[in-house]
Structures are given as structure tokens and as C-alpha cells.
Amino acid sequence: MVVAGLVTRSSAPVVAGLSLLIGTPFIAALAIALGTFASRGRLAAYAAATIAFAALGAWLAG
């Protein structure tokens, strides 16, 4: 899904939504990060990557 987000670029929100539906917020955030990075939204990509890493940390701890 992450790869799909990268390849299709603008489909990142769709990929993120699908990921959230199957309960993987980390993957969703990562998809947004990669998708926005691919569409040159550098700031949004960093913001999404931050959320992704924070979600990963909480997931690993819990």
C-alpha cells in the first residue's frame, strides 16, 4: 500500500483511509508521508512522518 501511495502520488489519502480501515494507523501515516513527499509537499511530509513515528513508538510500547 505504501508503494502504491508512492507510485500513484495523489492517491495517498485513499491509501491512508484504507489502511486506517484495517487498523494500521502507522502504515496510514507512513503512506501519507511518502505520498506527500512524492508530490513535493516537504513540510506536510515531515509532519506526517512525525505522526507516523510517534504512532509507531506508542504501538511498540503498548
Contact between 29 and 44 (Cβ < 8 Å): no
Q: How many CA atoms, within 13 angstroms, populate the side-chain half-sphere of residue 33?
A: 16
Contacts of another protein in 35-54 (CB under 8 A): 42-43, 46-47, 49-50, 53-54
Q: Is 62 in the site for another protein (CB under 8 A)?
A: yes
- The CA-to-CA distance between both ends of the chain, in Å, stands at 24
Minimum separation from the CB atom of position 11 to another protein (A) = 23
Q: Is 23 in the site for another protein (CB under 8 A)?
A: no
Q: Which residues bind another protein (CB under 8 A)?
A: 42-43, 46-47, 49-50, 53-62
